Every structure is written in C-alpha cells, then in structure tokens.
Amino acid sequence: MSADAPTKRHVGVDAFAVWMRANSDRLYLSAITIAEIEAGIARAARIGATTKAEHLRRWLAAVEHFYAGRILLFGIEEARHAGLMLDRARAHDPGFEDIAIAATAAAHGLTVLTTNERHFERLGVPLANPLKQLPIIQ
C-alpha cells in the first residue's frame, strides 16, 4: 500500500494504480496494513508533521472505503500460519507485522503484493512486486 501513499511516490506507481482499478474486485488488504498506516499517521502527528498526518488520514479513509468488505482480519488460522513463518524466519526476522500480513495471505491462498520483497521472500508465501511486474490475476 505504501507505494500509493500520498507522501511516497515510486516509479511505476501509475501503471500499478491502473492495474489496481482493473482488478479491484479481486484485491484484499490485511488489517495489519491498517495498523501500519495508523502507526505512520501517529508518528507524523507526534513529530509535528500535521499536514502529512492529515494527508495520510484522508488517504487511509479512502483505502478503507475502497477495500470495504475485503479487509482480512487476523484470526486463529492466520496465527497458525504466522507461527510457522516465525520459525522459518527466525534468523531473518522481518518483524511481526510482515509475518502477520504473509500469514493472512497464506491462510486465504493469496499473493502478497509488496515492494519490500526482502521481508517476504523467505516466508514461503507467493509474492509479487507490482512496481517491477504487474501480476496476472485469473
């Protein structure tokens, strides 16, 4: 999600945005991603970057609206996948948030779309960097 954040723009994000609109009914978001965005908003507000915090707050509201009904919660099945991934990543430690996102994708048979490939590549979940190559959804 960060690739499309109003405070971060990456090369390839325009093509990704077009792809997202074309595939919007088949895309999901982890509730953990909402937590990560909220943490970014809180940090921006705490350090006095109020304009950035407000832009992110409005963007998050739009993201939540866009994904209404397609925000995946972290429950027991996801926790079981996370436990396996925590063991698999013990020497790598990408952080609980990324493990929880990967576990949510694994529990639902989904692919993680991320520009942060390094944190996900050892977790055994399908992943794609949409700024390098847009995935084909069937």
- 2-128 has CATH 3.40.50.1010 classification: yes
Q: What is the pLDDT of residue 4?
A: 58
Q: Which amino acid is located at 51 in the chain?
A: T
Strands (E), the chain: 29-30, 71-72, 112-113, 127-128
- The DSSP symbol for 114 reads -
Q: What is the pLDDT of residue 11?
A: 67
Cα 60 from Cα 93, distance rounded (Å) = 27
Q: Provide the residue-wise pLDDT of the chain in tens; the chain has 138 residues.
A: 555 566 666 667 888 888 888 998 899 999 999 999 999 999 999 999 999 999 999 999 999 999 999 999 999 999 999 999 999 888 788 889 999 999 999 999 999 999 999 999 989 999 999 999 888 877
Question: For residue 47, what are its two tokens?
Answer: 């350090």
* Every domain of the chain and the residues it spans: 2-128
Question: For residue 8, what are its two tokens?
Answer: 């971060």
Q: Is this model's pTM higher than 0.85 or not?
A: no
Angle, helices 76-88/96-107, rounded to nearest 10 degrees: 120
Question: For residue 71, what are its two tokens?
Answer: 């925000």
- Residue 62 near residue 87 (C-beta atoms within 8 A): no
Cα 116 from Cα 54, distance rounded (Å) = 25
Integer-rounded Cα radius of gyration of the chain: 15
